[in-house]
Amino acid sequence: MLALDLDFSEVILQDVEMNNELKSLYNSLLDVLKNEIDVYRELHKLFLNEKVFLVKSSMDELCKNSSKKETCVLKAKMLEEVRTNLAEKIFKLLDIDKKDMNFSKLLSYGDDAQRQELTECQLSLRFLLAEINKLNKRNKLLLDSSLIYVQKSIDFINQLICPSSSYLSTGKLKSNNMNGKIVCWEG
C-alpha cells in the first residue's frame, strides 16, 4: 500500500510540474503575441506614413520608411517562428499531433485568463493585419496611378521632341494627331 501511495504522489507531482510548464509556455506565447501586436502596430503606422510620403513625392522619406517596414517585417517573421515553436511545445506537452495544431485547440487547453488574453491577441492581430492589407492595397493603387501619370508625361514629352508625321502618304493632313509640337527651339 505504501508503494501505491508513492506512485500516486509521483503522478500528482508530474501533473503539477506539467501544469507549471504548460502555464509558463502559455505565458511565453502571450508575451510573443503581444510583441507581434506591437510590431504590427508599428508596421500599420509606417503604411500610413507611406501614403503621406507618396503624395508628397518625398523620396528620401519614402526610402527611410521602406527600410523601417523591412525591419518590422523581419521582426514579425522572427516572432512568428518563436510563436510557432512555442505552440509546438505546448501541443507536444499535451500529446497532440502536429496535424491537429490550430488556435482553437490551443485555446481549449488554456485556463480562463489565458483563453481571454489569447482571444484578445487573436482579435488584435486579425484587425491589424486586415488594416495593413487595406493600406497596402491603397498605397499600391497610388503608386500605380503615379506610374501611369509619369509614363503619360514621358510619352507627351517624347511626342513634342520627336513628333510623328502629321501627313498621310497621300499628302493629306492626319486628323487624329492631337499632340502638340515645339514650334521654336530657340528661346
- pTM, two decimals, is 0.72
pLDDT bucket at 181, cuts 50 / 70 / 90: low
Which range, of 5-14, 23-32, 59-68, 143-152, averages the lowest pLDDT? 5-14
Q: What is the DSSP letter of 173?
A: B
Task: Report how far apart, in Å, the C-alpha atoms of 62 and of each of 67, 149, 161 are.
Answer: 9, 19, 32
The Cα 116–Cα 119 span in angstroms is 5
Sequence ranges of the domains in the chain:
16-161
In a 3-state reduction of DSSP, which class is residue 122? helix
- Tens of pLDDT, residue by residue over 114-129, are 889 999 999 999 999 9
Instruction: Say if residues 83 and 32 touch (Cβ distance below 8 Å).
Output: yes
Instruction: Say if residues 22 and 95 touch (Cβ distance below 8 Å).
Output: no
Q: What is the DSSP letter of 167?
A: B
- Tens of pLDDT, residue by residue over 18-77, are 588 889 999 999 999 999 999 999 999 999 999 999 888 888 999 999 999 999 999 999
Residue with cell 488574453: 117
**Which residues lie closer than 8 Å to 160 by C-beta, 6 or more apart?**
179, 180, 181, 182
With a pLDDT cut of 90, the percent of the chain lying above it is 47
